[in-house]
Amino acid sequence: MGRTLRIAMLGHKRIPSREGGIEIVVDELATRMAKNGHQVTCYNRGGHHVSGKEFDGQSVNEHKGVKLKTVPTIEKKGLAAVSSSFFASVCCALGRYDVVHIHAEGPAAFCWIPRLFGKRVVVTVHGLDWQREKWKGGFGSKFIHLGEKMAVKHANEIIVLSKGVQDYFQKTYGRDTKFIPNGVNRPETIAADLIKEKFGLEKDSYILYLGRIVPEKGEHYLIEAFQKVKTDKKLVITGGASDADEYMDKLKNLAAGDDRIIFTGFVLGKMLSELYSNAYVYVLPSDLEGMPLSLLEAMSYGNCCLTSDIAECVEVVEDKAMCFRKSDVEDLKAKLQELCEDKPKVEKYKKEAADFICQKYDWDDVVAKTMKLYE
């Protein structure tokens, strides 16, 4: 390893937090870099926490050797990310840093500010966020497109998490990017204890979705499909709604009258591990993904996974999981029914999942490749 670097990260909501994939990535990268002797500062947003009001207002200034700073944030849908990224970019430009690492396309709109002050700027594109349902058509989508163009023009390096996005940057802008997918840790699987007490769930008694509750993740397909499946297994939907409370209401209305469907809300810690450890099948029905971290996690726990056949998911699972046609409720239903009836098939996928995914996506490897771009 070369010299000690002073590194700043921004664009995430806050760490430590599991509000979304980006937060997990920033946490893993920053803490590992700090452990390797670098000076790392993460600029957290102020304001509302996705996981619910009870998490708001908790602020710490250090996390596993990483310095945390909270930046002013305008609490209004669409403006939280813009305002916090702007203030963080100014702080990074004026601060004593060698490298400024910006996460996501929206925050990259301000990547020219640290560049102007001679900083090395690396942008990670976690997905083409202007495609997301909540930003369609309005200011959000325009701002994210601007961020994409600014990254192309001003960033020293752009990191992408999937081959599809790499092709997109090449075709659209003629810009080379570096493909560095996320990593995953090998967890310990644990017995059903809290989930048995709270939700009556036993090992292999339920099908699991775990992730943010937003339209592009396709939970509505899953509920519609599951309602047509003949099984006494439960369907467990786990996660918090970020901006889309109306979507959560839509899902609950869809599920009304089927007492096999359980909404757990946002979970952390032991409860999260238990849910991953004891699921019969994990389903990710997304229409849109950057690099699906929850899918990596589910496989690292040795789950049989069923995902939509979008490139970002298929790239991850290869032949070690089952896929259904994206947005196709009938096909999803058929695959769910097949897995409910074919336990040996589920066991086969379970046996191969963890070794495969942990070898393929290793965080230390991700850190080493990322550090190379900092030099």
* pLDDT tens track for 226-248: 999 999 999 999 998 766 588 99
In this prediction, residue 19 has a pLDDT band, given cuts at 50, 70 and 90, of confident
- The confidence score (pLDDT) of residue 55 equals 45
The total number of residues written for the chain in this structure: 375
- The confidence score (pLDDT) of residue 59 equals 59
Share of the chain above pLDDT 70, in %: 95
Between 312 and 76, name the one with better pLDDT: 312
Residue 40 predicted with pLDDT over 50: yes
| Calpha distance 46→37 (Å, rounded) | 28
Residue 131 predicted with pLDDT over 70: yes
User: What structural domains and CATH numbers belong to the chain?
Assistant: 6-179 (3.40.50.2000), 194-360 (3.40.50.2000)
- The confidence score (pLDDT) of residue 365 equals 95
Residue 102 predicted with pLDDT over 60: yes
| Calpha distance 96→201 (Å, rounded) | 51
**pTM assigned to the model:** 0.86
